[in-house]
Amino acid sequence: MIAIIDYGSGNTAAIANIFKQLKVPHCITGDHAELEKADRYILPGVGAFDATMAHLTASGTIDVLNEQVMGRGKKVMGICVGMQIFADSSDEGELPGLGWIPGRVRRIRTENLTSGPRLPHMGWNSVSVQGAPELFNGVDFERGFYFLHSYYYDAADPADVIATVDYGGRFPCAVGKGNVIGLQFHAEKGHASGVAVFRNFAGL
C-alpha cells in the first residue's frame, strides 16, 4: 500500500488517479495508524517550506515519517515542496527541514542565469538523468516534465543529485539517497512520463 500523505496541500487527487489507473493499492491519508501500515509514501507538494514543516510538525506526522522512513527504511518520494523539506534548511523560510538528504534549498538567482529567464521557472523542460535509472525507465527525457518553482535543491553531496534541468543554467531537479527520492518537477502532470515514474516508484 502506498500512502499519499494528506497534509492540506498538494495534488493528492491527481496522484491517486494515476495509481488508480495503474491498479496500484494506495490511499490518501494523514492518519498515523494508516501511515504506519503503509509500505511506502508519496509526499506531494504545493506550498511554502515553513508552512509545510509547521503543519507536519504540529500534526505529529514528522515523528511518524522519521520512524517509518529513517527507522524502518520504507521508501518515500517527495514532489516539489514535498522534496524540498528533505533538506536541512531553505532560503524560503526559517524552520529546519527533515535533513534526510543533506543540503539547502536555494532561491534561483536570475543574475546567475546565462539566458536571463524569469521566475518562477514554469512550464515543460527536458531533464538530464545521472542516477536512479530504474526510477526513470520509460521516461521521455527530451520532453521532460512540468515545473513550477523558484527554488532548487542544492545537495551537499553531488552524488545525491539524480537529475538536472537547464533553465538558463543547470541545477538539480531530482535527488536521491537510499530509500529517499525527491522530485522538483510535478510528475503528476507529466502525462506518460509521469505515469512511468509513479509506476517505477511503486515497483522499487
pLDDT digits (tens, 9 = 90+) for 87-96: 999 999 999 9
DSSP letter assigned to residue 117: P
Could you confirm whether 94 is annotated as catalytic?
Answer: no
Q: Please tell me the total count of domains within the chain.
A: 1
Residue 126's region, left for phi above 0, alpha for psi from -120 to 50, else beta, is beta
Min mean pLDDT across 110-119, 155-164, 183-192 is at 110-119
Angle at 144 between CA 143 and CA 150, to 5 degrees: 130
Could you confirm whether 27 is annotated as catalytic?
Answer: no
Min mean pLDDT across 51-55, 72-76, 197-201 is at 51-55
b/e per residue, 99-114, with b = 16+ CB within 10 A? ebbebbbbebeeeebe
Query: What's the CA gap between 93 and 53, in Å, rounded?
Result: 10
Cell numbers of 8, please? 492540506
Report whether pLDDT(114) > 70: no
How buried is 25 (Cβ within 10 angstroms: 0-12 exposed, 13-18 middle, 19+ buried)?
exposed
Report whether pLDDT(109) > 90: no
Query: What's the CA gap between 22 and 8, in Å, rounded?
Result: 25
Cβ(76)–Cβ(70) below 8 Å? no
Q: What is the pLDDT of residue 116?
A: 61
Rg of the chain on CA atoms, in Å = 16
DSSP letter assigned to residue 71: I
Catalytic residue among 26, 121, 149, 186: 186
Catalytic residue among 26, 80, 121, 173: 80
Q: What stretch of H or E contains 58? A: helix 49-58
Find the mean pLDDT for residues 163-182. Answer: 94
CATH of the domain at 193: 3.40.50.880
Q: Which domain holds residue 61?
A: 2-203
Cell numbers of 163, please? 537529475
> Could you read off the pLDDT of 30-48 as tens digits, one per residue?
999 999 999 999 999 888 8
Catalytic residue among 26, 92, 121, 188: 188
Strands 103-107 and 151-155 turn out to be: antiparallel
